[in-house]
Structure formats: structure tokens, C-alpha cells
């Protein structure tokens, strides 16, 4: 196989695999260093003596002894001599298993390292040197440039700056310029603001870190919170709320409806207790009786307790202190037990 033009370069782009095939003057098929996905000859580029070979027509991909798509076959009679220079460039669409470090894949890394594998084709005018590519290459080594099918050496025969490809020598009118972007970029799409609706979210969403909500939040189902929750503004709950742990309100707490406390003890640490109702019920249980009401009363805490209790045995109120008369009253000082029993 003869060659035309520039000597093949011996550089490998960091974005894909490249290997050299050494002929022995008799072999027509060669085992590659990695699989060719789908037995598709278009997934590799084969260059013999600096001339790009046409997939399928010049070579095909066959399976090796293990059934893998890894054998490059030139067909019967098409041998590589010991002087032929051949290399295979894998287009970066093969299987490559790499585990990135935790937290290392950010938006910038995705945008810089994924590519599309586009092919830009141009028909040159007389003396034309500059051509505008459809995307920005990482460098000159990440693209392959061919003029009329002849491979061009990066930095020697062309340079790139942004999306501009510049040939060192001006082209002849009608020259066919082909630029192959060798990588695996896919389109990176930024989601437009406000485009993610509730219907596009999964049923269950877990947030392992901090969730900041600056606007209104409506929860129509059950919300389970296992950690601390701080509400800096107003918290409006229209349905039932079940709190299994301690609740601390550092400011005022207003209950517009009924407040039911089902625990065994209710402590009110306040200087003033205002009760609007004219009647205070004590010993109110589901089935009240004299037995359940026995010894119900009020205890005033002091050096010693001052009590006012109802005694079921005598059906009377009993106190361990005297009840003082009002000014101008004829009431007498006696223990309240005696007064009420006599009355």
C-alpha cells in the first residue's frame, strides 16, 4: 500500500486511543488493543501510509477468539508489508470505565471534557487558510484534519484558536477539507429557570444537605422531619400536625382553636394567668364520680402547703388554713373545714 503526502505523526490525543499496526508482509487481519463497539468500522479511523482508509470498503471489524469485536481485517490479499506504516485511531466511543473522585465532576468538568464527535467539511477557495469549526477543540491534537484525504500534522500543518482552524499553507481552489472531532461530548443542557414543574419531580425526594426555601412552600401530603427544623418566618399549618418530640416556642404562641394536652403533667410558668370562663372544672374525667373527685382541690405552695380539698366522706370542702372574714363582715375565723361542715 503506497502513501502520498506527509509522514504520519506519532502523537496520541488524551481524548481517545491510538495504536500502531505493524505488518509482516503476510497478515491481513490484526487484533486491536480494545473493542470496536457494535462491530462498526466507522467507530475507528484507519490510516495506512498517511492515507485514510474507507470503512467497510477498505477494512471491516471481526470477532476475536472470545467473540469480541476486536479484529481489524483488510480482506483477502490486502497485506501490510514490513515497511507500511499503519495506525488505528479509536474515536472515543468505546467502553472506558473510570470512577471519578467524589465531588470532582462539576458543571465545568462536564462541559470541557465531553465532545460530540462532529465532522466539519469545507470546500476551499484559492489561497484560503482559515476555516470556522462548529465547536471549539481542546487543542490541535484533539482533532484530525485531512486535505483531499491526506492527514495533516497538528501544529506543523495547521493550528487552532477557539473555533478557527488555520492551515499553514493556503489551499488550492476546490480542495476538500475534513475536520474530525475525536471525543465523546454530548450536549450539556442547562435547565431554564422555572421549567421544572412538580409533575417532572420524582414522588420521593431526599435532601441529604441543607434545603433552603425562600418562597412559599405547600405540602399537601405527609412531611416527615427527623432532624432540627428552624422556621424564621410564619409557619401556617391547615391540617393536622403530629409532634412526637419536645416543642419549644421561644416567642408568643397563639392557638386559635382548642388546645388539648393529653400528658400526665402540664406546667405553666407565667406571672399572670387569665381565665375568661366563669367556671373552672377540676377532676374532669370521662366518667366522673364522687370516687374520682375525692380529695380534688387546690394547693397553694408556700413554706407549708395550703390546701382546699373536697372530702367525699363528709361531702364537704376541707382546708388546712383559716378563711379570713372581709372587713365589716360578721364571719368568724375558723378552719374552713368546720365552717363548711356547719353550714
Sequence length of the chain is: 343
- The answer to whether residue 322 sits within a structural domain is yes
For residues 32 and 65, the answer to whether their CB atoms sit within 8 Å is no
Query: Cα-atom radius of gyration of the chain, to the nearest Å?
Result: 45
- The answer to whether residue 168 sits within a structural domain is yes
Output the CA–CA distances (angstroms, integers) from residue 195 to 169, 191, 192, 199, 217, in the order listed: 49, 7, 6, 11, 17
pLDDT tens, per residue, the chain with 343 residues = 444 443 333 333 334 678 999 999 999 999 998 888 888 898 889 999 999 999 999 999 999 998 889 999 999 999 999 999 999 988 765 444 556 777 776 655 655 555 556 899 999 999 999 999 998 888 888 889 999 999 999 999 999 999 999 999 999 999 999 999 876 554 456 677 877 877 777 777 777 777 777 777 777 777 777 777 777 777 777 777 777 777 777 778 888 888 888 878 888 888 888 888 889 888 888 899 989 989 999 999 899 999 989 888 888 888 888 877 665 555 444 555 444 544 3
Rounded to an integer, what distance in angstroms lies between the CA atom of residue 240 and that of residue 138?
A: 58
- The answer to whether residue 48 sits within a structural domain is yes
For residues 30 and 72, the answer to whether their CB atoms sit within 8 Å is yes
Rounded to an integer, what distance in angstroms lies between the CA atom of residue 47 and that of residue 341?
A: 120
Output the CA–CA distances (angstroms, integers) from residue 200 to 172, 194, 196, 203, 218, in the order listed: 54, 12, 6, 9, 17
Cβ-based neighbour number of residue 285 at 10 Å: 8
The alpha carbon of 246 is separated from its chain's Cα centroid by a whole number of angstroms, namely 32
**Residue 11: which residues within 8 A CB-CB, separation 6 or more?**
141, 154
- The answer to whether residue 265 sits within a structural domain is no
Do residues 82 and 117 both lie within one domain? no
Q: Does pTM surpass 0.85? A: no
Do residues 118 and 171 both lie within one domain? yes
The residues facing 341 across adjacent strands are: none
- The answer to whether residue 116 sits within a structural domain is yes
- The answer to whether residue 235 sits within a structural domain is no
Cβ-based neighbour number of residue 115 at 10 Å: 21
Torsion of CA 313, 314, 319, 324, to 10 degrees: 170
Do residues 115 and 84 both lie within one domain? no
Do residues 86 and 116 both lie within one domain? no
Per residue in 134-171, is it b (16+ CB within 10 Å) or e — as a string? eeebbebbbbbbbbeebbbbbeebbebeeeebebeeeb
- The answer to whether residue 295 sits within a structural domain is yes
The dihedral built from the CA positions of residue 108, 114, 118 and 122, taken in this order, carries a sign that is: positive
Do residues 139 and 177 both lie within one domain? yes
Report residue 2 as a C-alpha cell.
503506497
Do residues 115 and 173 both lie within one domain? yes
Domain residue limits at 144: 111-181
Q: What is the pLDDT of residue 1?
A: 40
- Among 45, 61, 90, the domain-final residue is 90
Alpha helix ranges (H) inside the chain? 107-113, 290-293, 336-342
For residues 114 and 105, the answer to whether their CB atoms sit within 8 Å is no
Q: What is the pLDDT of residue 62?
A: 94
- Among 90, 121, 154, the domain-final residue is 90
When divided into structural domains, the chain yields a total of: 3
Q: What is the pLDDT of residue 3?
A: 40
Amino acid at each position: 500500500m503506497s502513501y502520498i503526502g506527509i509522514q504520519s505523526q506519532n502523537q496520541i490525543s488524551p481524548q481517545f486511543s491510538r495504536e500502531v499496526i505493524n505488518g509482516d508482509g503476510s497478515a491481513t487481519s490484526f487484533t486491536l488493543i480494545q473493542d470496536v463497539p457494535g462491530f462498526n468500522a466507522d467507530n475507528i479511523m484507519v490510516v495506512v501510509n498517511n492515507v485514510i482508509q474507507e470503512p467497510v470498503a477498505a477494512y471491516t471489524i471481526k470477532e476475536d477468539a472470545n467473540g469480541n469485536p476486536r479484529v481489524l481485517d483488510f480482506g483477502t490479499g490486502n497485506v501490510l508489508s514490513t515497511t507500511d506504516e499503519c495506525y488505528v485511531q479509536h474515536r472515543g466511543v468505546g467502553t472506558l470505565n473510570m470512577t471519578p473522585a467524589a465531588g470532582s465532576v462539576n458543571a465545568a468538568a462536564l462541559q470541557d471534557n465531553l465532545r460530540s464527535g462532529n465532522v466539519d467539511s469545507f470546500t476551499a477557495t484559492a489561497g484560503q487558510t482559515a476555516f470556522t469549526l462548529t465547536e471549539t477543540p481542546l487543542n490541535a491534537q484533539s482533532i484530525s484534519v485531512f486535505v483531499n484525504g491526506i492527514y495533516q500534522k497538528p501544529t506543523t500543518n495547521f493550528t487552532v484558536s477557539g473555533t478557527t482552524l488555520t492551515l499553514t499553507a493556503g489551499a488550492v481552489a476546490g480542495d476538500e477539507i475534513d475536520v474530525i472531532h475525536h471525543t465523546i461530548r454530548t450536549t450539556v443542557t442547562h435547565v431554564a429557570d422555572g421549567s421544572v414543574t412538580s409533575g417532572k419531580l420524582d414522588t420521593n425526594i431526599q435532601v441529604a444537605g441543607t434545603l433552603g426555601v425562600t418562597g412559599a412552600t405547600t405540602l399537601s401530603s405527609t412531611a416527615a422531619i427527623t432532624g432540627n427544623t428552624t422556621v424564621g418566618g410564619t409557619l401556617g399549618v391547615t391540617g393536622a400536625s403530629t409532634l412526637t418530640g419536645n416543642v419549644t416556642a421561644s416567642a408568643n404562641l397563639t392557638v386559635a382553636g382548642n388546645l388539648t394536652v393529653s400528658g400526665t403533667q402540664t406546667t405553666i410558668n407565667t406571672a399572670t394567668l387569665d381565665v375568661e370562663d366563669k367556671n373552672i372544672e377540676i377532676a374532669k374525667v370521662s366518667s366522673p364520680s364522687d370516687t374520682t373527685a375525692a380529695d380534688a382541690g387546690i394547693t397553694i405552695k408556700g413554706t407549708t402547703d395550703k390546701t382546699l380539698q373536697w372530702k367525699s366522706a363528709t361531702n364537704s370542702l376541707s382546708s388546712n388554713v383559716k378563711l379570713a372574714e372581709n372587713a365589716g363582715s360578721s364571719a368568724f375565723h375558723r378552719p374552713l373545714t368546720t365552717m363548711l361542715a356547719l353550714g
